[in-house]
Structure 1
């Protein structure tokens, strides 16, 4: 139940009546008409811009439309007052019974806030997709949490979601991994080795080298690289993916599928994707101008096979095949996204690190060209994470040799704190992760503050039950809520009512951080009402000797708890039942 959608329908119906009665001309488009909370809560419960957006196309003064619309809206029993503000904004106040009904909906409807499944709703969210050359680091952690929360948010909003990891196992970096594992393999035979620049000397490969020794013995110790490289490459990649899966499991992340870049080579998929672009007249032979700034790895001052990506919004055309016939790094990515389209997805989302900003336009151009503009691609970039302890750079074991791992972070603060805090900023904004602040028990720590609200409701439920008061949801759903009239109580009910709208907005914008922000605000309202009860006994949740009033007040905060649990579920955080 989305009260904002219901009230928008009321506004649209009233406008239709005005057209039928000749107060508005026919043929007006109402797509831009909104109903939303006013910026200043003192102005009302909801506001609509209907008169403002329709005035120009209708050829009328906004105020005239607003006055006529206000009269019609005021006739609805849910509306107690309609005010015309400024040049023509409409502010509505709703009856307390509206908010009471929404508290009941939160308690009785398991799907409260969820979006209904709809047609053409298959979406693939690709995230993490780190090179399989070592454990996930803290930068990958943010992308992993963001992508997983986004996938959960979309599923909650009615999308059919597939979570996918693209294994970048087709490039030269996996050869470097194989050589690094081979060096650990030699070490496992008690042989000294030199680590060439660019190899991976992290301790995490020691076990892989020992496992390789256990599998093949000493048969490759004196063998040339061409004998063992392919086998060690496969062995090492599988070992790294096992490690990455374990890292993801620490954050309770489970992928639906893993897609190998290497599987594209020799399968004909790259050729098919380029042929599809060629058939659309988007492949040609040419020579690109030298790019400004840093030179990309795939640029060369020779005639190459180019994709006319500028025809689909890119800044420059992009090479897909080098002069020697080898595919560029971009070609398999085109083929991978062509495969996504072939699998029938209605929308695609890629979650990349901040260093992939230059890749966004070319990838969007490729998907647009391959799908004839049918399948949208949204690329979300996650910015860097700065790790500190009380404002100072934080030091860890660095088992990876050169960076701080996901496992290090989760071991330090746990998966719930890690996940929630990674979502306290928009994905494209830098994030400070201070280990002291994310674990402190204060209002300034949103993780604690939201969890504390959920645990506080649990404590009230326990106390009420111990006093012999029935507080199961079925009983609370039948509580008489008419006594909930205090401004702070109604403010909480209004915030609970915003949950379905918040889910819809966050899902459409691909912004799971908005869920974290909303939960903090909802928790703040609950804590505020709790504190008011210290000075005003009538606002305390348990009213001695008055079970009916107690049940009404507990119904209100239990609705808060239901919504907090749902929101934390989207974020992948386990609600706290008590604080320690």
Structure 2
């Protein structure tokens, strides 16, 4: 095994070389695509250390029987001295058993690579734009935004760790009716700051106390100049001031979670720049937009509905169920039209796009994916990869009941409130303990519970246990060493086998755009570590520190240190600190 290549990747090259040998011998036709060939742990650890489907996926295009091909491939693989057993299972899977020395070499690699263990060049420097959060700039971040924020940020870190160049983008929706409502709400607080009794906040305006300082700042800057002025005199000014204040607040809220975007793109600036008009002209030139009659609404047609001619995008060419308008009858851009132009802009400077959306936007997925497919293929190009990850809302619970609303926000629980209550690390890790498209309860009592039922604590406690063990050992005069790793037994090798999966889990999570896989892996590794630890509670000879055997102690401490390193690397990808004591 090389000094730098993780074990699973190394044996993937061994399998690839064996297939090349079969090609050279004429057993396999030359040039068969091998992209579907895998090297992974068998589903049942009792079946071996590694498994490959090579014979299964290549037999048909090679015009041969899977088991016959497996036998030929097995004969090649048996030549590698690190492989102690090759078994053909079922219709043609191949299970491999490796020497203990192979796993011990991987343990040393973890120590050598340290924080880079699991880092990959898989992305090849390709540029991925990850757009996430993109909440309307009308108030502080609330927990409805939190899950998407964490998923997007962890995904960006995962992609960077896997060799991609990542642009973390926030799309500021500052051109719609909601920011006019914000301006009117700020004007009300402005009048209040000047001493006017504004009474109850009228329905339709934003009621939260977070606009009070915005009103005070406006009063300090403009005095009473706009107190009785007509709306036309102050709407645009107050809108710009209020949006800027809200974005400062949003950045501060995100910073509480350790989230910092590279780019903030303004919808208003995009439209003012003429880029939306340019996108429409480009689409018309490529026969992707035409003037046509908007279809009647599905179901019962409203009595006052009249057919109207609008510029329509040919989204049915790309899998949508109807062509979509990019402008309204007033000439204003539809949300879809503005989004189309925004993605047109993003696609110019990225090799792949990923959007993290709330599940309430599920209805627009098909049309925007159709738009991006059109934009990236119209000139004969290959469609740029574009994925939309939908994130379900989070139900906040405390004491078995839905958590009450926040007075500061008016009608929702703010992200800042939650981080203050339980801490950044708890929030971030918890948001990744379920698949994003699955419903989640965030129980304030459970997420701070010191028990194995709390995955945040369970993984943090694993790392803290490692640190505590190393501190105790140092106090007793012991230190980790790889000099006698051959003393490690079957239980220790099982821990190494699991830890060694980290690099392939990272790559798989990056390809699938699923950072929660890292959290799942860390939980499994923590469970295995705790199980090993618990054996030592009843059997002193199985403890990490065996006072009468310094060589075995040094080897086990080396193992513990590397388990801690892998946990630390995984937590870093999730933006979570690795606790050294709890």
Deviation at 1:220, TM superposition (A): 1.1
Which residue pairs with 1:211 in the alignment?
A: 217
Q: Secondary structure at the match of 1:321?
A: coil
Deviation at 1:33, TM superposition (A): 1.5
Deviation at 1:293, TM superposition (A): 6.4
Equivalent position to 2:418, from 388, 409, 417: 409
Q: Secondary structure at the match of 1:134?
A: coil
Which residue pairs with 1:229 in the alignment?
A: 235
Residue 526, structure 1, aligned to residue 529, structure 2: yes
Which residue pairs with 1:157 in the alignment?
A: 162
Which residue pairs with 1:470 in the alignment?
A: 479
Which residue pairs with 2:394 in the alignment?
A: 385
Q: What's the CA shift string for 1:96-122, capped at 9, x where partnerless?
A: 111101110111114211012754511
Unmatched tracts of structure 1, length 5 or more: none
Equivalent position to 1:244, from 226, 236, 250: 250
2:122 touches 2:507 (CA, 8 Å); kept in 1? no
Residue 548, structure 1, aligned to residue 548, structure 2: no
2:406 touches 2:414 (CA, 8 Å); kept in 1? no
Q: What's the CA shift string for 1:3-42, capped at 9, x where partnerless?
A: 2222222222212222322333334332222111111111
Deviation at 1:205, TM superposition (A): 0.9
Equivalent position to 2:462, from 428, 453, 478: 453
Deviation at 1:409, TM superposition (A): 1.3
Q: Structure 1 residues 396, 350: CA separation in 2 closer, same or farther (over 3 Å shift)?
A: same
Residue 362, structure 1, aligned to residue 367, structure 2: yes
Q: Secondary structure at the match of 1:538?
A: helix
Which residue pairs with 2:327 in the alignment?
A: 321
Matches within 5 A, 1:39-54: 39-54=43-58
Q: Structure 1 residues 300, 29: CA separation in 2 closer, same or farther (over 3 Å shift)?
A: farther
Matches of 2:182 and 2:406, distance apart in 1: 21
Matches of 2:473 and 2:130, distance apart in 1: 44
1:276 touches 1:370 (CA, 8 Å); kept in 2? no
Matches within 5 A, 1:130-279: 130-193=135-198, 195-279=201-285
Q: Secondary structure at the match of 1:567?
A: helix
Residue 441, structure 1, aligned to residue 450, structure 2: yes
Matches of 1:258 and 1:219, distance apart in 2: 32
Matches of 2:26 and 2:207, distance apart in 1: 78
Deviation at 1:93, TM superposition (A): 0.8
1:367 touches 1:376 (CA, 8 Å); kept in 2? no
Q: After TM superposition, what 4+ stretches of structure 1 lie above 6 angstroms from structure 2?
A: 293-296
Matches of 2:442 and 2:123, distance apart in 1: 38
Equivalent position to 2:542, from 539, 544, 549: 539
Number of residue pairs the alignment of both structures matches: 570
Q: What's the CA shift string for 1:219-249, capped at 9, x where partnerless?
A: 1111111111111111111111111111101
Equivalent position to 1:56, from 28, 53, 60: 60
Matches of 1:545 and 1:152, distance apart in 2: 44
TM-score by length of 2: 0.95
Matches of 2:33 and 2:307, distance apart in 1: 53
Q: Structure 1 residues 421, 118: CA separation in 2 closer, same or farther (over 3 Å shift)?
A: closer
Matches of 1:403 and 1:505, distance apart in 2: 36
Q: Structure 1 residues 334, 480: CA separation in 2 closer, same or farther (over 3 Å shift)?
A: same
Q: What's the CA shift string for 1:475-513, capped at 9, x where partnerless?
A: x3x432111122x21111011110100000000000000
Residue 331, structure 1, aligned to residue 337, structure 2: yes
Residue 420, structure 1, aligned to residue 429, structure 2: yes
Deviation at 1:438, TM superposition (A): 0.8
Matches of 1:436 and 1:269, distance apart in 2: 49
1:479 touches 1:555 (CA, 8 Å); kept in 2? no
How large is the RMSD of aligned CA atoms in angstroms?
1.8
Matches of 1:204 and 1:324, distance apart in 2: 34
Deviation at 1:314, TM superposition (A): 2.1
1:166 touches 1:261 (CA, 8 Å); kept in 2? yes
Deviation at 1:547, TM superposition (A): 2.5
**Is 110-119 or 416-425 further displaced after alignment?**
110-119
Matches of 1:119 and 1:58, distance apart in 2: 30
Matches within 5 A, 1:292-331: 292=298, 301-331=307-337
Residue 104, structure 1, aligned to residue 108, structure 2: yes
Q: Secondary structure at the match of 1:123?
A: strand
Q: Structure 1 residues 529, 337: CA separation in 2 closer, same or farther (over 3 Å shift)?
A: same
Q: Structure 1 residues 150, 281: CA separation in 2 closer, same or farther (over 3 Å shift)?
A: same
Unmatched tracts of structure 2, length 5 or more: none
